């Protein structure tokens, strides 16, 4: 990969046409337009701090292991071990959240096309088919992934422009700026508006995740010490701008707020398209969104499989000998690819029993991957002047930026462990903290069993995925 290809994979994983669209319905009830728009701006600013701090550490340690390799080098084996498990949980939750969102939008499209009824069982079947598609695409090597990600960038930018342009020019009725930036809606069941505002930040924080993909593809990137950190920052800033425009376009075009929230199509943006533009345009724009989400899920699968490969290469996972194998012709860790989609399939199973489970799947991604971002940044701050930066660095601003990033991550991690709906029942339970506890428990148990075999290579990257302690098959 070149610099553009590396940035493209993070931009594809962030994917405003995935995160913003699939979480828009959640945002409509957790604060409404005001929280979605102002929350996007605020969260985007804080993510710039986190991304810049992480980019600086990535430049010093460009490797497929990404976050856990950085933590190991800066703080020791135990820091690296737990960072890796958190990172893996977040990446797996990311695949589940992205591909399940694609399944929901596919169900809405089929409903408009043929009267398809998007029941939980049917959506789950579509979801499994999408997972299988992404597994197959990721078996063909990094060149195909790079091409798809490059196409994805232009698809996302053109898609946002098309959607916002259509919603701006075609409808005769639009909401006022005062409505879009001040209207507060709370249908969560919680009486505290402040608490609901915090919950509403999930839309933006979930979307702004996955930019560590640039680090995970470092060993397949030319001049990674410069390209990977620049890829992280480019992906965040592009997404910040594109996502705000997209959210404004959707919000200004809402006709009947309650009808959009309770849409039989299953995803509120589809109802916005239908009300504003009619059936033909609604189907066309849904296809644009679905293809973007497929690009996003494919990029996330690539990043997760590289994380599994690298973690297994260092003997940190059960069955490491299998997951670290790479194919002799494609250089692809095929077993790691299949493991990624298999675990993602399991994470989404509660949706069959609870329609609110999707929010918990999204929260798994946030509370797994976001703390994993902060750990190497915290260790870099703790190291102070003894930290040896790479060619891309923040200079004297490194420690202040890192401190802001760590505080923000600690805050959002606590927020997204909280219950999202009231009253709290089996159907509305946020099981994301449970997933976090299970992952950390497994990490602790496996540390006692296999820590003596856990050893990272002394060199951060050699530029050849298949030759860095992997088993070629």
pLDDT at 64 over 80: no
Query: What average pLDDT does this structure show over 74-81?
Result: 91
422: which 2 tokens? 């009231």
370-374, 380-384, 436-440: range with lowest mean pLDDT:
436-440
Q: Is 25 helix (H, G, I), strand (E, B) or coil?
A: helix
Query: What average pLDDT does this structure show over 362-386?
Result: 87
The residue assigned the tokens 């699939």 is: 22
pTM of the model: 0.86
Q: For 402-420, write each residue's pLDDT tens digit.
A: 999 999 999 988 888 888 8
Q: How far is CA 39 from CA 14, 44, 176, 310, 356, in A?
A: 16, 8, 19, 35, 22
83-87, 108-112, 357-361: range with lowest mean pLDDT:
357-361
10 Å Cβ neighbour count for 462?
A: 12
pLDDT at residue 472, as a whole number: 43
Q: How many CA atoms lie within 13 A of 313 on its CB side?
A: 28
**Cβ–Cβ < 8 Å for 307, 301:** no
Query: What average pLDDT does this structure show over 143-152?
Result: 81
How many degrees, rounded to 5, is the angle at CA 326 between CA 321 and CA 327? 135
Confidence label for 463 from pLDDT (cuts 50, 70 and 90) = very low
**Cβ–Cβ < 8 Å for 219, 468:** yes
CB neighbour list of residue 278: distance below 8 Å, 6 or more residues apart: none
pLDDT at 473 over 60: no
List, as one string, the DSSP characters of 148-209.
HHHHHHHHHHHHHHHHHHHHHHS-S----HHHHHH--EE-SS-S-HHHHHHHHTHHHHHHS-
Q: Which helix (H) or strand (E) holds 221?
A: none
d(CA 107, CA 94): 20
**Superfamily of structural domain 3-455:** Amino acid/polyamine transporter I (1.20.1740.10)
Buried b (16+ CB within 10 A) or exposed e, 132-141: ebbbebbeee
d(CA 58, CA 297): 23
pLDDT at residue 459, as a whole number: 52
Q: For 344-363, write each residue's pLDDT tens digit.
A: 999 888 888 776 667 667 77
Residue, of 108 and 438, whose pLDDT is higher: 108
pLDDT at 28 over 80: yes
Domains of the chain, residue spans = 3-455
pLDDT at residue 159, as a whole number: 93
pLDDT at 158 over 60: yes
Helix pair 279-313, 334-347: axis angle to 10 deg: 120
pLDDT at 123 over 70: yes
Q: For 171-181, write each residue's pLDDT tens digit.
A: 888 999 999 99
Q: For 212-234, write each residue's pLDDT tens digit.
A: 888 877 877 888 889 999 999 99
Highest mean pLDDT (candidates 259-263, 436-440, 448-452): 259-263
Residue, of 417 and 47, whose pLDDT is higher: 47
Residue, of 124 and 354, whose pLDDT is higher: 124
CB neighbour list of residue 360: distance below 8 Å, 6 or more residues apart: 350, 420, 429, 430, 431, 432
Picking from 47, 50, 51, the residue whose alpha carbon sits closest to that of residue 7 is 51
Q: For 244-280, write each residue's pLDDT tens digit.
A: 999 999 999 999 999 999 888 889 999 999 999 999 9
Residue, of 123 and 222, whose pLDDT is higher: 123
pLDDT at 122 over 70: yes
Q: What is the DSSP letter of 63?
A: S
Query: What average pLDDT does this structure show over 136-146?
Result: 81
3-state secondary structure string across 78-141: HHHHHHHHHHHHHHHHHHHHHHHHHHHHHHHHHHHHHCCCCCHHHHHHHHHHHHHHHHHHCCCC
pLDDT at residue 397, as a whole number: 93
Q: Which helix (H) or strand (E) holds 242?
A: helix 224-252
What is the pLDDT of the chain when averaged over all its residues?
Answer: 87
pLDDT at residue 349, as a whole number: 86
Q: How far is CA 299 from CA 37, 133, 181, 192, 456, in A?
A: 26, 12, 33, 38, 25
Query: What average pLDDT does this structure show over 140-146?
Result: 76
Residue, of 462 and 99, whose pLDDT is higher: 99
d(CA 6, CA 234): 10
d(CA 160, CA 446): 44
Rg of the chain over CA atoms, in angstroms?
A: 21
pLDDT at residue 458, as a whole number: 59
């Amino acid at each position: 990969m070149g610099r553009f290809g590396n940035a493209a994979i993070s931009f594809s994983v962030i994917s405003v046409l995935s995160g913003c669209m699939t979480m828009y319905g959640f945002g409509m009830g957790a604060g409404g337009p005001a929280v979605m728009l102002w929350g996007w701006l605020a969260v985007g600013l804080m993510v710039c701090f986190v991304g810049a701090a992480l980019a600086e550490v990535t430049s010093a340690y460009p490797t497929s292991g990404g976050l856990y390799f950085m933590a190991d080098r800066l703080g020791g084996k135990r820091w690296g071990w737990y960072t890796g498990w958190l990172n893996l949980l977040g990446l797996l939750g990311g695949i589940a959240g992205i591909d399940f969102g694609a399944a929901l939008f596919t169900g809405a499209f089929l409903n408009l096309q043929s009267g398809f009824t998007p029941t939980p069982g049917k959506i789950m079947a579509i979801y499994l088919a999408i997972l299988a598609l992404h597994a197959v695409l990721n078996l063909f090597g990094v060149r195909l992934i790079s091409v798809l990600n490059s196409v994805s960038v232009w698809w996302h930018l053109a898609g946002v422009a098309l959607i916002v342009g259509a919603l701006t020019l075609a409808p005769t009725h639009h909401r006022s700026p005062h409505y879009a930036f001040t209207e507060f809606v709370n249908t969560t069941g919680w009486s505290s508006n402040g608490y609901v505002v915090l919950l509403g930040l999930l839309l933006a924080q979930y979307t702004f995740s996955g930019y560590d993909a640039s680090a995970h593809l470092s060993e397949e990137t030319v001049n990674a010490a410069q390209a990977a950190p620049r890829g992280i920052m480019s992906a965040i800033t592009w997404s910040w701008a594109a996502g705000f425009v997209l959210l404004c376009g959707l919000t200004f075009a809402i006709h009947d707020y309650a009808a959009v929230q309770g849409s039989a199509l299953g995803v509120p943006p589809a109802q916005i398209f239908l009300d504003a533009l009619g059936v033909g345009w609604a189907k066309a724009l849904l296809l644009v969104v679905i293809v973007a989400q497929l690009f996003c899920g494919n990029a996330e699968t690539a990043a997760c499989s590289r994380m599994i490969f690298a973690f297994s290469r260092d003997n940190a996972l059960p069955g490491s000998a299998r997951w670290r194998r790479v194919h002799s012709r494609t250089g692809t860790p095929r077993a790691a690819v299949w493991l990624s989609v298999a675990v993602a399939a399991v994470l989404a199973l509660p949706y069959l029993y609870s329609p609110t489970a999707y929010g918990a799947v999204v929260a798994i991604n946030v509370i797994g991957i976001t703390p994993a971002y902060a750990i190497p940044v915290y260790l870099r701050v703790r190291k102070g002047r003894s930290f040896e930066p790479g060619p891309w660095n923040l200079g004297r601003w490194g420690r202040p930026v890192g401190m802001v990033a760590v505080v923000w991550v600690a805050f959002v991690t606590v927020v997204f462990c909280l219950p999202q709906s009231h009253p709290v029942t089996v159907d509305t339970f946020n099981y994301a903290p449970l997933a976090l506890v299970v992952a950390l428990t497994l990490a602790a148990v496996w540390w006692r069993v296999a820590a003596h075999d856990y050893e990272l290579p002394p060199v951060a990257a050699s530029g050849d995925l298949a030759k860095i302690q992997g088993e070629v098959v």
